[in-house]
Structure 1
């Protein structure tokens, strides 16, 4: 038997404070405008999407090392590192004036992305679990919803900030990261049970996770969902450009997308574990359908199809994060999340530049149509994997020495 879950004092306060810091970290004044910003600086679209490809490659290579680092450093230390790297990254982007600086900052951004993908989610999950088995998923959903709310607020104002100065959205994002870091100093750490696991123990734990069919399947489902659902987002800005939207209109387009994401993220906290597969499967199907509809009626994309994509992504991915975290031992939780992101990132690093180049040579609508065609094959594989992952994962325990990978008993 494993030992009980380590206790954090005043867990409601901790979850609330983490939601605030996530709000500050998730602001995306840059998101609807980064491509427009690079074009403004004189870079062409092909160079911009190649930089995105380099970013994806770096994030893939850094995922597992950053996950291992996060599991060994501890949750709070890793989170503070994320805030510091965020400030450096966006301040650096604001000062780009050459191609080598562009690719250099995108490399730093890739390292930040890799660290954030596992460490921040793990911290959010483990703090929210302090609220108990029923309130834990809801606390996790609140933290994720706070991040989506930050996206909404920042995207509404992004165009206005860009109109004042094209670099201002990036400077403000960096400043918010600094503030997040200062507030994060008041967060509790999640106590570790026993000494940090050795590299040999970590590798053995990962092999054990991959040996169980149910756990292996949910990891594969998550990687496939991330690959397909995140790759298509590179086409949001090309669609706005094709439709000749102004920066302010593009900001409002993203605001609508974010508003849907808030609702979807919050709602996942009330989904019963037995219904999670339906949410995940529905998220994938809606993503494919929305891509196809954008191909046929691209002019409705900003008000209809892109919000559909946001709904699918927020609901499906937040649910998958809960599933992954709940099935994985604490000692390798961030590493497993990073492993999933790494596998997905291999495909994303190819798909996103490819979709960007296709949109550049033809149109964004054609790129959406091609991705929808790929999605028909993806859905078939996805359904098979969903059936294998099963329902009712066992609760994850905290004793890394005695506990197994939760969920393997379903194999």
Structure 2
């Protein structure tokens, strides 16, 4: 049966609109500058960030279970409302302890939203024959997120210069608009629940689910941990803050395009595409290290780093599809959250390590070491995909 073209203002299009409104990143390149301008010390800013990351790691799996229990639409409405509250709070609060409390709430919001776009997009497309297919619609969702990222990253510094709280207050307003739009969306009823595991333990006993969680955690660890060195590397090679903003915009585009490309990959090739994408990330980090050592500034920042982030976009989307298909609707959000939480626990150790190496040995050395670690991770992923029991993993 051929799927029909989606209506211009149907629920699928409106969900993409919500994604654009929620996925703005006005805060991303400016949050440290903002806190320092508000009078916080670097140590206080670092403590606030650590509190946020701790809240995310602790809340990931519980929030995933909450989303599976209350449903996708309710979770999205709560996410929109919390976005407005959190970013309004960041924009107006000046006390350290109140700011820390707001960032704890932000961590809970982050955990609640983690994977929600994937599950809601997938299940809404399943229930609406206007969608091209769940995986193709997920690719469109990734592109919508990328558009939001590009527009907001390019304007973040400009908004901060106008008025420091402006990026955060604007995000709060967009969260309110997203809430109004999300209220018009239909809920999803999980017609595939009959094929889902009845308990979380049953879901975790499926080899394909366990492998998918490990692959997703590897992809997130390899692709996200090193990002803490992107800005220091840009500063080291002489880029201005506005130039670094352009680099981040290019990164957002490449991640989105990688996610879109992943939905065009033949299903039976997903495993090796994930492995290959991890290998490409490892090679890109090696090339970044060599490029930085030889002062190839623009090649490094505008070609080599985006090559790795494009590969991350491919691998991240493929692991999402892997888990969305493997676990069924009943425990989808919980399983995606478990993969994200596993990555978060690993990053607690790796990110300070990378920062320390960058500060003492140089950012090029940090990328070189991460390239080696990523190469080992690619070998581990290859074993998961092509090791003993792979025939079980290929079963659908």
TM-score (norm 2): 0.88
1:81 aligns with 2:78: yes
CA contact (8 A) 1:222 1:340 kept: yes
What is the CA deviation profile of residues 143-163 of structure 1, one whole-angstrom value per residue up to 9, with x for unaligned ones? 121011110111121222122
Mean Cα displacement is larger for which, 229-238 or 124-133?
Answer: 124-133
CA contact (8 A) 2:67 2:112 kept: yes
User: In structure 2, do the counterparts of structure 1 residues 188 and 15 end up closer, same or farther at CA, with 3 Å as the change threshold?
Assistant: same
Alpha-carbon deviation of 1:18? 0.5
Structure 2 CA distance for aligned equivalents of residues 175 and 338 of structure 1: 27
Alpha-carbon deviation of 1:217? 0.9
Match of residue 11 from structure 2: 14
Match of residue 135 from structure 1: 133
CA contact (8 A) 2:272 2:382 kept: no
Match of residue 186 from structure 2: 188
Q: How does 1:11-410 map to 2 (within 5 A)?
A: 13-43=10-40, 47-131=44-128, 135-192=133-190, 205-298=199-292, 299=297, 300-387=299-386, 410=395
Alpha-carbon deviation of 1:328? 1.0
Structure 2 CA distance for aligned equivalents of residues 183 and 83 of structure 1: 10
Structure 2 CA distance for aligned equivalents of residues 11 and 205 of structure 1: 38
- Larger RCO of the pair (alpha carbons < 8 Å, separation 6+): 1
Q: Which runs of 5 or more residues in structure 2 are unaligned?
A: 1-5
What is the CA deviation profile of residues 352-382 of structure 1, one whole-angstrom value per residue up to 9, with x for unaligned ones? 2332344344433332222223223222212
User: In structure 2, do the counterparts of structure 1 residues 256 and 194 end up closer, same or farther at CA, with 3 Å as the change threshold?
Assistant: closer
How many correspondences in the alignment? 384
Mean Cα displacement is larger for which, 136-145 or 42-51?
Answer: 42-51
User: In structure 2, do the counterparts of structure 1 residues 259 and 182 end up closer, same or farther at CA, with 3 Å as the change threshold?
Assistant: same
Structure 1 CA distance for aligned equivalents of residues 124 and 388 of structure 2: 25
Structure 1 CA distance for aligned equivalents of residues 388 and 321 of structure 2: 14
User: In structure 2, do the counterparts of structure 1 residues 302 and 408 end up closer, same or farther at CA, with 3 Å as the change threshold?
Assistant: closer
What is the CA deviation profile of residues 114-161 of structure 1, one whole-angstrom value per residue up to 9, with x for unaligned ones? 111133321111112235596221111111210111101111212221
Q: Which runs of 5 or more residues in structure 1 are unaligned?
A: 1-8, 196-200, 393-406
CA contact (8 A) 1:215 1:389 kept: no
What is the CA deviation profile of residues 60-81 of structure 1, one whole-angstrom value per residue up to 9, with x for unaligned ones? 1101110111111111000011
